[in-house]
Chains A and B, each alone.
Chain A
Amino acid sequence: MPRPTSSSTLGSLVLIAVVIGGSGASFAYTAGWLSPDQLTPTRLVAALAPPSGPVAGHRRNHAKGICFTGSFEANGAGLALSKAQVFQKGSYPVIGRFNLGVPDPMAVDGAARVRGIGVQIATPDGQEWRMAMINPPFFPVASPQAFYALLVASGKKDDPNAMKNFAAVHPEIGAFGAWAGSAPFTESYAEERFNSLDSFTFTDGLGADHVVRWSLVPAAQAVSVSKDDLAKRSNDFLEQEITQRVAAGPQRWTMTVTVAEQGDPTADPSKAWPDGRRTVDVGTLVASKIVAEPDGPCREINYDPTVLPSGIHTSDDPFPSARSAAYAVSYDRRTAEAAAYPTHGGAPQ
């Protein structure tokens, strides 16, 4: 069988090897395998883990929580900002989750500084709006990279300078520290104001964009509890309290949307917007039933803040993208470990 001369064959084989090797290398580069310092979702999630390691089967952050069901009662006013069906006057089903901003599902309720809520609202057009909000008025840091650096620094318990060095580079942490040190603790999830912190873009029916943040403002009067008093409460007092309170009657929060003005720091959740911004009350979140998490409907929901209906999309805030990537990793992990977190009714499906 005639064949090309061996030297041209060799050249061809080298060329083929270069093409294949180059493709493999660019694939590895794209996958980040050649950049050990790149902040990947996996590294971000790993940094959340407590010193004893992540708790199998549970969320990698905000691990302790309790489910609720209820509704979102839209008053129609939100249509001025977004065409999403969720703002049309009406009642839409909600699956939510009250939670503590810690990676330990056995955490003591009174010890957690940050309390959160996950909310999923479903509308008849088949769309969903998922959100995960917390009670501080601003986020500790200005970027996902800074959040990672904060997790790394606060994990270095044996290095007294780690946090000092971090604060020198990220002075915005000071405001959060001041809030954490001075804000009163309430006795109930029902008394918390939860804030989106991140900004999002609402698009109205005419196609105009409005960059907004929103809050859930509690109807219940806040009763503050002293630190000493908190220490005496049972480990799960927040969960017990909300279970009893909701059993006695539905709990409500007004959803207030704040519209940014030109020049407001829309990309930086560590900075509150100035007072006096236009706000629109768009409806009421109602929690009408509490269900424990192991068998609850919120357990398998990833409250990914980028699950948005048409009429809402992400803004220039860099957090939602990082959160979406990290929450997916957390979800992939915890669902793979579901056997470690049995339901009360038996083994998970």
Chain B
Amino acid sequence: MNRIGGRFTGTQRVLHWGMAVGILAMLFIGVGMVSTVTTSYLALVSIHKPLGVAILVLVVLRIAVRLRSGTPPLPVDLPAPVKLGATLSHYVLYLLMIAMPLLGWGMLSAAAYPIELFPGVFLPAILPQSDSLHTLLWNLHRALAFVFFAVILLHIAAGLFHALVRRDGVFQSMAGGSIPDEPSVSTAAE
């Protein structure tokens, strides 16, 4: 049977969609800002830093909520390798949500830049100035940003596949909307 039981809690869904918008924005702002010399460079950088830190705070909250509320089970008929892929890709996403802001914070610390989040509000340095650390963290921040985007695309493709092709309720468990409880019926109707 296709139908899966349960949904993510309201808190989890709000966190998921809010952070989804935030993270996609961060990725676009990131690649956009490093490719311009216009005044939008400074404007984008001044959004990138506080939004990135907000994501770090939210992901901590989100993991705590997930540990408490758990997740609805995946459909039983989903092949085991696909289930494993889903689980692993979700861990990778959480890891990147934690790693990206820490790398950004760390690399600015290692470059001895003051890290201004809002006018007059600064983050403390978490590392001493170091050329080698700066280079390592900067390369990671850049490389993992592309990995992040790729995994997110995969995640969106999978979500849409559940919604449009499998119609097994996995998409609705996060999106809301009625869970198609008898997919065979809707299939037959087409």
Could you list which residues of chain A lie within 8 angstroms of chain B, going by C-beta atoms?
1-5, 8-9, 12-13, 15-16, 19-20, 23-24, 26-27, 30-32, 38-41, 44, 126-128, 144, 300-302, 304, 306-307, 310, 313-314, 318, 320-322, 324-326, 331-332, 335-336, 338, 348-349
Contact = CB atoms under 8 A, between A and B. Distances in A.
B132 interface: yes
Nearest to A348: B131
Contacts of B188: 2
A348 B133 CA distance: 11
Nearest to A307: B114
Contacts of B37: 39-41, 44, 144, 321-322, 325-326
Nearest to A129: B114
B131 A32 contact: no
Nearest to B183: A2
B187 interface: yes
Interface residues of B, number: 47
A324 B41 contact: yes
A3 B184 CA distance: 7
B3 to A, nearest CB: 12
Interface string B102-123: 0000000001111000011010
A300 B41 contact: no
A324 B42 contact: yes
Contacts of A23: 153, 156
Contact of A4 (B28, B132, B135, B190): B190
Contact of B113 (A1, A307, A322, A336): A307
B187 A321 contact: no
A268 B137 CA distance: 36
A331 B120 CA distance: 24
Contacts of A126: 114, 122
Interface of B: 2, 27-28, 31-42, 45, 77, 111-114, 119-120, 122, 129-132, 134-135, 138-139, 149, 153, 156-157, 160-161, 164-165, 167, 183-184, 186-188, 190
Given A23-B153, A39-B36, 14 more contacts: A1-B77, A2-B2, A27-B28, A30-B28, A31-B35, A39-B37, A40-B35, A321-B40, A322-B38, A324-B41, A332-B135, A335-B131, A336-B131, A336-B135
A16 to B, nearest CB: 5
Contacts of A38: 35-36
B38 A16 contact: no
A320 B122 contact: no
A10 to B, nearest CB: 10
A321 B149 contact: no
B187 to A, nearest CB: 5
A73 B33 CA distance: 37
A338 B149 contact: no
- Nearest 7 pairs between A and B by C-beta? A32-B35, A31-B31, A12-B164, A322-B37, A2-B184, A310-B120, A338-B131
Given A2-B187, A16-B157, A20-B157, A128 B114 contact: yes
Nearest to B138: A332
Nearest to B132: A349
